[in-house]
Amino acid sequence: MSIQFRHKPGMVVYLTIGDPDISTSKQIALAAIDAGADVLELGVPFSDPLADGPVIQRASERALLHGTRLTEVLALARELRTERPQAGLVIFSYLNPILRLGLEKFCALAQEAGVDGVLVTDLIVEEAEEYRAAMRRHKLQPIFLAAPTSPDARLEQIAKASEGFVYAISRTGITGTQQQVADGAQQLVERIRRYTKLPIALGFGISSAAHVAAVGAFADAAVIGSAIVAIIEKSTPAEAPMAVAAFLSELGVVPVATGETLAILS
């Protein structure tokens, strides 16, 4: 499969896998896809999530309490791929769990599982040569993050190295919700646009229908992370899938019939 945005803006949903447990994560993922998520970011919990705010930190801690492993996240991806062939699946991780499994082995397992892309929070383009080669060998799409602080020369490198989409960070800071979409976000997306025809997804701090609508005016997709994880935190495992689906519907996301393709952006 491949990463396709069927909505305007496309909807990327981040989940910390293993929070509260793997089987609930699967039900939440299925519910999110059925509610219209174009791409799922399957978050690998890490002991030292230094780019994350308190919400995702707590989710990682809960997932690690029962020892959620990268290999389990990959096994979950395989199940999701079988049950929902159309969904875009991205592994979202810090670098160390991938290194520990072995870069080559990780890529082979991810390919086998039917994963589309990989996003590594603490891997910048300059350090990614070997990683990109392994991704190419296994037909995986590397997605890199672009920041408001990145000068144009870096944005060009990031855009060229990315496949699937470019992840634009709306503001300096860690993950977490905020009142409104940051002022510099549109400017960042426009700067990235000069260097690529790939879709650009905007993330960090997006948590309401108004945010999503604002993002839709200038970006191709919105990433919802902490807001979803916070809903899971507040729900019982049984309620969580429905609560996430209801939240996506509140954001204005509509389900897409399998195989149907609506309004993909150029």
Partner 1 sequence: MSKVTATESNPSSAIAGRFGAYGGRYVPETLMAALEELESAYAAAQADPAFTSELAHLLHHYVGRPTPLYHAARLTEFLGGAKIYLKREDLLHTGAHKINNCIGQGLLARRMGKRRIIAETGAGQHGVATATVCALFGMECVIYMGEEDMRRQELNVYRMRLLGAEVRGVRSGSATLKDAINEAMRDWVTNVRTTYYLLGSVLGAHPYPTMVRDFHRVIGIEARQQILEAEGRLPSAIIACVGGGSNAIGAFFEFIPDKSVRLIGVEAGGRGTNLGEHAARFQCGSPGVLQGTYSYVLQDDAGQVSLTHSVSAGLDYASVGPEHAALHDSGRAEYVSASDAEALRATVTLARMEGILPALESAHAVAEAMRLAPKLQRSDILLVNISGRGDKDMGILARELKLQGA
**Minimum CB distance to partner 1, residue 48 (Å):** 5
Instruction: Give every CB contact of residue 133 below 8 A, 6+ residues apart in sequence.
Output: none
Binding of residue 124 to partner 1 (CB under 8 A): yes
How many binding residues for partner 1 (CB under 8 A)? 41
Q: Point out the catalytic residue in the list 21, 34, 38, 52.
A: 52
Binding of residue 75 to partner 1 (CB under 8 A): no
Binding of residue 160 to partner 1 (CB under 8 A): no
**Minimum CB distance to partner 1, residue 259 (Å):** 35
Burial class (CB in 10 A: 0-12, 13-18, 19+), 21: middle
Among 21, 79, 86, 95, the residue binding partner 1 under the rule CB under 8 A is 95
CA distances from 134 to 40, 117, 140, 216 (A): 22, 12, 8, 33
Binding of residue 150 to partner 1 (CB under 8 A): yes
Contact mark string toward partner 1, 23..52, x via CB under 8 A: -----------------------xxxxxx-
Q: Point out the catalytic residue in the list 38, 41, 163, 220.
A: 41
Closest CA to 186 of 219, 153, 138, 220: 219
**Looking only at residues 176 through 235 of this chain, which bind partner 1 when binding is defined by CB under 8 A?**
none
| 130: annotated active-site residue | no
| 52: annotated active-site residue | yes
Binding of residue 18 to partner 1 (CB under 8 A): no
Binding of residue 100 to partner 1 (CB under 8 A): yes
Among 9, 10, 43, 53, the residue binding partner 1 under the rule CB under 8 A is 53
The C-alpha atoms of residue 235 and residue 194 are separated, in whole angstroms, by 42
Residues that bind partner 1 (CB under 8 A): 46-51, 53, 57, 61, 64, 67, 69-70, 94-101, 121-124, 126-127, 144-151, 154, 158, 169, 172-174
